[in-house]
Structure 1
Amino acid sequence: MPTPTPAPSTRAPAVLAALAALSLALSACADPGEGAAAADGAGEGSPFNLTPDQDRVRAEAVPEIAALVPDGIRASGELNVGHSSGGAPPLAFYADDDETVIGVETDVAQLVADVLDLEYVPEATGWENLFLSVESGRFDAALSNVTVTEERKDLYDFATYRVDTVSFESSVDSGIGEVAGPEDVAGLSVAVSSGTNQEEILLRWDEQNREAGLEPLDLQYYENSSDYYLALRSGRIDLYLGPTPSAAYHVEVAEETEIVGTVSGGGEIRAEIAAMTLKDNGLVAALEAALDHVIEGGEYQEALERWAVGGEAVTESETNPPGLPRS
């Protein structure tokens, strides 16, 4: 695991790379209005294919890696993968049929299932149900922008596949300057999804501000992107803190918000996005090996770049790396 790095500043390279890639995708799109998404935040003019027929990047089965799959899952012939139904483009979100889950998370899951010679079965659920569904065995794994934390490692195993960064979004006419640290959000109304690592960042920052005698944060909780973008437009909130890929996508497509700050998903330390399985059920070794195989073969990078998320790519998968510290 690389040494933790300080949080990047506003318009960090990863954000600029994402925005540049999105701009290129927009200019290359033959019909910008084709496949306008019903999904929250997608809108007309999307640079991506938002139809159920995804024509995903695929990989060949690798018998020696498939042999690592636990017998129970192998016998079923399926890899049941949970994705958050509250997600926003380009992570995991509904296609324009309002029922098929698409996005970079589904593309990575498909590659893993291919290598393991299993049928990929995606299932959508609320963020709060992802963890219980993996714990109960309803899902074999969850790929849904899940950050590795020490607390989560008590119950789950992780195989990493993306670097985690989060960004502050404001309306274009908000007048808010750079958000680089706790003092920059003092007294502001900030929206965030409950139970996420970005919520933990804001809670820590708010505590630091209170101890320094600064105004407290006004935290607002939203589960769907349509709700927080409506709140931004109406002025009910000053900022939204969420995953950088979704923020970069929305900035480019909607042209009504801007990114005013980017930090690591761990705040002051590096954070990792990972596939999550039930602890000690044996599946994580197969997932790590499958991810390493498609990283080496190039299919992984192709899938990420298909959704303009190449700036968060990793060079190898790791099992249970150091996670964000316990709160």
Structure 2
Amino acid sequence: MFTSTRRVRLLASAVTAAAVLGTAACSSGPDRADAATAAGYNLTADQNRITTDKVDEIAAKVPQAIRDRGTLIVTGAAGTAPPLRFYADDDTTIIGSETDFAYLIGDVLDLEIELTAADWAQNFVRVDSGEADVFISNVTVTEERKEKYDFATYRLDSLAVEVKKDSGITFSGAKDIAGLTIGVGSGTNQEALLVEWNEQNIAAGLAPAEILYYQNAVDYYLALGSGRIDAYVGPNPTSAFHALQTGETEVAGTFSGAGADLQGEIAVLTKKDNGLIQAINEALDHIIDNGTYTRVLERWGITSEALSDSRINPPGLPKTAS
């Protein structure tokens, strides 16, 4: 029996799947799987995932306690953000590029992957407490986070400003958010950037932006469609996927998740100095070298965010002045 919270989450997932696929996701019965792949994406629970072989010398670098357990516990966002991490059409199976990368890491390290989900801020708590080993869910490297966590990068961090189609809104820099009502996820690096830009604009005498907060994609899609917000700032893959599938929105502009002076990177996050990050870094380099990494990027349409190698704790989004 599902709890009421679980029912709400599953309903949100189903609504979002329908939103991103348009009428293609409205089929039922035997044709549903065909409908889910019609737009070029497999959104069914039967993912036929890309796999790779284990590498003993890399697996040997995993801390003994995790090797003895035989599983890597991966936490991530509970929301619905195709093509990154979201629920399949069975409303139970977590799929997307982020889970594909997690499974490939598990293959190299000879570990079973145990996927869990939580609201954004709770994922950090799970890593802090040891309830999860890693957080893999479009996590940006930031200087503040590096004080508590280690990172191994696997994708560029590009953010997008998504608007209603033909809204006339364009984005090329901070001044373009002046006077807009903008949605964003709470506790994300894109929120930090929006707040900083808003403060700069106000200091320059420009109209302030109103920032509203959303946890689930279905909520901000509805807000954007109804005109409650003018724009939404989130991961570029999600906005590009949504705009392509629905034809109702468009990307007004993109920017680095680490701000104007640094290209941000997305990374696997784990507790600092717990001995796991070296093995994860080498596992990522291995799948980059053997081509399975590129196959995942191609599968989900995010090849523009490819990295040539994984880096441990590179420069991240700078701390804001206090």
TM-score of the pair, normalised by structure 2: 0.88
**Which has a greater percent of helix?**
2
Q: Which residue of 1 aligns with 2:57?
A: 64
Ranges in structure 2 where 5+ consecutive residues have no aligned partner: 1-12, 25-38
1:97–1:77: structure 2 CA closer, same or farther, 3 Å change rule?
same
Distance apart, 1:87 and its partner CA: 3.7
Query: Would you say the 8 A contact 1:191–1:221 is kept in 2?
Result: yes
Deviating runs (4+, > 6 A) in structure 1? none
Q: Distance in 1 between matches of 2:225 and 2:80?
A: 20
Post-superposition CA distance 1:200-253 (Å, at most 9, x none): 111111011111100001001111111111111111110000100000000000
Q: Distance in 2 between matches of 1:73 and 1:262?
A: 39
Q: Distance in 1 between matches of 2:268 and 2:79?
A: 18
SS at structure 2 position matched to 1:164: strand
SS at structure 2 position matched to 1:49: coil
Q: What code does the residue aligned with 2:21 have?
A: G
Q: Which residue of 2 aligns with 1:43?
A: 21
Q: What code does the residue aligned with 2:14 have?
A: A
SS at structure 2 position matched to 1:275: strand
Distance apart, 1:39 and its partner CA: 5.7
Q: Which residue of 2 aligns with 1:200?
A: 192
Q: Which moved more, 1:291-300 or 1:116-125?
A: 116-125
1:228 aligns with 2:220: yes
Q: Which residue of 2 aligns with 1:284?
A: 277
Q: Distance in 1 between matches of 2:125 and 2:179?
A: 35
Give percent identity, aligned residues only.
Answer: 53
Q: Which residue of 1 aligns with 2:234?
A: 242
Q: Distance in 2 between matches of 1:51 and 1:270?
A: 33
Q: Which residue of 2 aligns with 1:155?
A: 148
Q: Distance in 2 between matches of 1:167 and 1:69?
A: 36
Q: Which residue of 2 aligns with 1:317?
A: 310
Distance apart, 1:182 and its partner CA: 1.6
Q: Which residue of 1 aligns with 2:29?
A: none
Q: Distance in 2 between matches of 1:170 and 1:322?
A: 30
Query: Would you say the 8 A contact 1:39–1:88 is kept in 2?
Result: no
Q: Which residue of 2 aligns with 1:265?
A: 257
Q: Of residues 56, 63, 67 in structure 2, which corresponds to 1:74?
A: 67
Distance apart, 1:38 and its partner CA: 2.1
1:168–1:289: structure 2 CA closer, same or farther, 3 Å change rule?
same
Distance apart, 1:42 and its partner CA: 3.1
Distance apart, 1:265 and its partner CA: 0.7
Post-superposition CA distance 1:169-208 (Å, at most 9, x none): 11113222x2111211101100000111111111111011
Aligned length: 290
Query: Would you say the 8 A contact 1:39–1:93 is kept in 2?
Result: no
Distance apart, 1:267 and its partner CA: 2.1
Distance apart, 1:119 and its partner CA: 0.6
Q: What code does the residue aligned with 1:146 have?
A: V
Distance apart, 1:155 and its partner CA: 1.0
Q: Which residue of 2 aligns with 1:103?
A: 96
1:39–1:301: structure 2 CA closer, same or farther, 3 Å change rule?
farther
Ranges in structure 1 where 5+ consecutive residues have no aligned partner: 1-36
TM-score of the pair, normalised by structure 1: 0.87
